[in-house]
Amino acid sequence: MEQNLNEILKSHVTSTQDTTNKLLGASFILLSTNEKDTPKTATLYKGSAGRIGFDLSSPAFSVDSFTWLASLTNMLLTHTLGTTYVPMTPDLIKWSQKQGRPILTTDWSIEGLSVPLAFAPGDGWIYGTSLDWAGLLIERVTGMSLGAYMESNIFRPLGMNDTGFWPDKLPQTASRTVAWCHRKPSSDLEPMERLTPVEHEFESGGAGLYGTADDYARFLRGLLDGKLVGDDGLSLVFSPQLNDSQKKALNDMIYRPGFHRAAAPEFPLGIEIDHSIGGVINLQDVPGKRRKGSLMWSGMCNSHWWIDRETGIAAVLIVNVLDSGDAVVVQLYDELERAVYAGRK
């Protein structure tokens, strides 16, 4: 399986200046909690391919390459509160235009978060800013910044030394930081300016984290090994939480044309899904891939993770390319997951 995964990664990254239908680089880590491998979570595969920048002399992309994780850290709420991003609904777009506000803002300010609810709390499901508000609530309750709280309770205990909300406070990652890039209509990549603000009012619990593939694998391992939550807490993370109307809203949005490929391309149309406090759960087996009851989420820059408790495996793919739903990453992720399950037979 290792050779196959290596070949898949290499086939989707460029080794020249030509980036047409290629990525600059990618990392993939596969973990196992299957007792036939080890009583604890073991690393079955850890690999990377490509480089971190456009220049051919750029350092190699590795599991320690540093990048924006964006909304990959969806581990708190069910997105049923009604808080959302303006571009998610036509009504909020109209409201924003009348208010003279930008349609999309990534300044991570209270003003940017302060928009009307898309619906009454509990009346539906919509992806949005719930985790940002949850982070602010944690700060009020604990008297600590979100970053300090997560450093004390998650990052430091798990050895996640390259993860945080302020890249400038992680100077050891400077030489490993991955270039920002965007895929043009011609299917090749072009450099782009950093999308996230250097200075911001609050630490965004929904989209503000930076880190590496290796650190994120440490997080998944800590979750599965019980270092972060006990058995009851872990069961809750994997328990569907939506009522029928909320679940319908989730399925309608996830499978909406234009959103499906960005949010959950691993699910064929029609696979029924739900949401827990930790992410999206597929309620049916995905043929050739993960089993029912698996947990997943993805990030704006096309990174993905999943945990399949039935087969005892978890994995994370880290890349850094916009826009969301990049066709090259969708194909890469599908090939990697299928290779993982084929190799486990």
Which CATH number do you get for residue 293? 3.40.710.10
pLDDT at 107: 84
Mean pLDDT of all residues belonging to the chain: 93
Percent of the chain residues topping a pLDDT of 70: 96
pLDDT of residue 75: 43
Residues of the chain with pLDDT > 90, as a percent, come to 78
Mean predicted confidence (pLDDT) in 201-222: 94
- Residue pLDDT, tens place only, 42-82: 999 999 999 999 999 999 999 999 999 976 555 447 899 89
With bands split at pLDDT 50, 70 and 90, how would you rate the model's confidence at 169? Answer: very high
Tokens of 194: 């950093």
In the numeric block, the tokens 């009020």 are attached to 140
Is residue 174 classed as helix, strand or coil in its secondary structure? helix
Average pLDDT over residues 92-121: 89
Mean pLDDT of 242-247: 95
Neighbours of 278 (CB within 10 A): 23
Q: Region 20-26: what's the mean pLDDT? A: 98
Assign residue 236 a region: left if phi > 0, alpha if psi is -120 to 50, beta otherwise? alpha
pLDDT for the residue numbered 210 = 97
pTM: 0.92
Contact 220, 72 (CB under 8 A): no
What is the residue range of 18's domain? 2-343
pLDDT (0 to 100) of residue 157: 95
Number of domains in the chain: 1
Q: Where are the beta strands (DSSP E) in the chain?
A: 25-32, 42-50, 67-70, 181-183, 189-191, 209-211, 273-275, 280-282, 295-298, 304-308, 313-318
Distances (CA, A) of 207 to 31, 49, 272: 24, 26, 26
* CA–CA separation, 296 and 290 (whole Å): 10
Question: How high is the pLDDT of residue 141?
Answer: 95
